[in-house]
Amino acid sequence: MATATVEKEKTNDSTNTNGMIFIQKVKLNNDGTAKISYKKSTDLFAEESTFTGKDQVTEEFKKAFQSTVRGFTSCIPRLAPEASKITMNCIKLVYGKDEFLQSALYSVKYAFNEANNAVINISTPLLPIYKEEFENTFCISGKDEEALHEVIRLAKAYLNGETKTKQMSLIVDNTKN
């Protein structure tokens, strides 16, 4: 499935930049905006750019970002029953020289109580994406990898200006503008 995603991105780049970009880090802020770091190459020494949005992300983006909690709870199964108390905070992505997603790090906020006033930050180490030779290795499953690719797609759309504000329709006198 990863092959199809990379090939699709190489032929149908969803960004306004010249060539492919590689999302390195996605963080949703408390105000609904996002901070996204990206590179134009998988080279370790390539320059990293950071985009800090001023408008809120779309509801689809928020939902996709939060759905990656499943990948986190797959790594720490003891917290799976309490997934409703976990808020995804940041995802760091690492690509191989072949330009495929190689590993990811999840960083979450875990609320100990319903009032959310006792919160702890928890991060995983960099976890590899599952491959056949990783049978006995702690790694990210295929479904969780697809969730990461969806976040990457929506992060690129956000970089291109797809925000909650742009998705809103202005209705005046029962007519859409």
Is the confidence at residue 77, as pLDDT, over 60?
yes
Q: Check residue 166 and give its pLDDT.
A: 67
- pLDDT, tens digit, 9 for 90 and up, residues 99-156: 899 999 999 999 987 766 788 999 999 999 987 766 666 788 889 999 999 999 999 9
Work out the mean pLDDT of the chain and round it to a whole number.
82
Rounded Cα–Cα distance for residues 93 and 100 (Å): 10
| Helices and strands in the chain: count of H runs, count of E runs | 5, 9
Rounded Cα–Cα distance for residues 130 and 144 (Å): 10
